[in-house]
Amino acid sequence: MRRMVRETRLHADQLILPLFATEGRGVREPIEALPGHSRLSPDLIGERAERAFAAGLPAVLVFGVTDRKDGAASAAYDPDGPTQQAVAAIREAAPELVVITDVCLCGFMDHGHCGVIVDERVDNDVTLELLAQVAATHADAGAHVVAPSDMMDGRVGAIRSGLDREGHPDVAIMSYAAKYASAFYGPFREAAGSAPAFGDRRGYQLDPANVREAEREIALDVGEGADMIMVKPAATYLDVVAMARRATGLPLAAYHTSGEYAMVKAAAERGWLDEPAAAIETLTAISRAGADLIITYYAEDAARWLHEETA
């Protein structure tokens, strides 16, 4: 009877797995703060993506990681950069998997900020040109969807015109429209080596106290041509997910972040939580709040647990 009247059905089709792409050959570096996840070189990441597809996942989200950092984030738009190489490898190994790329500069900047620094401040408009270039090189490598996570104003429009100009009118944009200046990105910054060397990201990411501002950010990105909208983090922002659901008819994604994953993981390791139950409950709540898609480090495990539940 409960099966019959259930209102929310979590399904593997909704889950997107983040992957960390590094340079070199034969590199598999486990990420300490994200148990079960590693930085992988291009020769290993294809096989990893193939496994995700076999587990029933429709898509992966690729983050490039590099030691080649400078003040212009040049490795971010290098056609042979870590993200670009990984995308090509994944497309070859798993041709039916949707490949989404994170578009940002922080992991490629020597100062770790998401934009270009001019006179000790992040310069919004100078940054837009570089972001458009990053997105175009991801599309050249074969990305189906680009996901800008920088939170600069006007970047969706800049990326859209750049993609159209470079011959990629059918590459979609999943915009991190409502991305908060959150403490729940800690493990990710270790994984990507992208912590800011000075200051913080409160100048460009949203204040966790605000929801009306998030609604304005979503409207701006929709107006600039976003194809999908994202809210991040997810589990502590269910009211924002519900607001976003009402605010737009576009596909809505929520990012269950590294810190949210780590909390469940660490408590489970101590025997304080039942991991599959806590993870599935969290993901179900995010879906119930209105998310169509959930980006989560639990994607592969959750696909398996959901399968076992119904088998």
Question: Where do contacts with ligand PBG occur on this chain (CB under 6 A)?
Answer: 102, 104, 106, 114, 149-150, 185, 188-189, 194, 201, 257-259
Tokens at 148, concatenated? 């800008």
Partner in contact with 185, chosen from Zn ion, ligand PBG, none, beta carbon below 5 to 8 Å by kind: ligand PBG
For 196, which DSSP code? Answer: -
Alpha-carbon dihedral 10, 60, 151, 77, rounded to 10 degrees: -170
Least separation in angstroms between residue 296's CB and Zn ion is 19
Least separation in angstroms between residue 80's CB and ligand PBG is 21
Partner in contact with 65, chosen from Zn ion, ligand PBG, none, beta carbon below 5 to 8 Å by kind: none
Partner in contact with 257, chosen from ligand PBG, Zn ion, none, beta carbon below 5 to 8 Å by kind: ligand PBG
Q: Choose between 106 and 243: whose C-beta lies nearer to ligand PBG.
A: 106
Question: Residue 123: beta bridge partners?
Answer: 116
In the complex, the residues that contact Zn ion under the rule CB under 5 A are: 104, 106, 114
Least separation in angstroms between residue 105's CB and Zn ion is 6
Least separation in angstroms between residue 296's CB and ligand PBG is 9
Task: Give the active site residues.
Answer: 179, 232
The amino acid that residue 249 corresponds to is G
Q: Choose between 34 and 141: whose C-beta lies nearer to ligand PBG.
A: 34
CA 183 to mean position of chain CA atoms: 16
CA 65 to mean position of chain CA atoms: 14
Least separation in angstroms between residue 189's CB and ligand PBG is 6
Query: Which helix (DSSP H) or strand (DSSP E) does residue 99 occupy?
Result: strand 98-103
Q: Choose between 64 and 290: whose C-beta lies nearer to Zn ion.
A: 64
For 112, which DSSP code? Answer: -
Least separation in angstroms between residue 104's CB and Zn ion is 3
| 3-class DSSP string for 134-190 | HHHHHHHHCCCEEEECCCCCCHHHHHHHHHHHCCCCCCEEEEEEEEECCHHHHHHHH
Peptide bond before 169: cis, by omega within 30 degrees of 0?
no
The amino acid that residue 152 corresponds to is M
CA nearest to 265, candidates 17, 33, 91: 33
Partner in contact with 101, chosen from ligand PBG, Zn ion, none, beta carbon below 5 to 8 Å by kind: none
Tokens at 26, concatenated? 């034969």
CA–CA separation, 298 and 10 (whole Å): 13
Q: Choose between 93 and 154: whose C-beta lies nearer to ligand PBG.
A: 154
Q: Choose between 97 and 114: whose C-beta lies nearer to Zn ion.
A: 114
Looking up tokens 């990441």 gives 45
Q: Choose between 140 and 190: whose C-beta lies nearer to ligand PBG.
A: 190
The amino acid that residue 199 corresponds to is G
Partner in contact with 102, chosen from Zn ion, ligand PBG, none, beta carbon below 5 to 8 Å by kind: ligand PBG
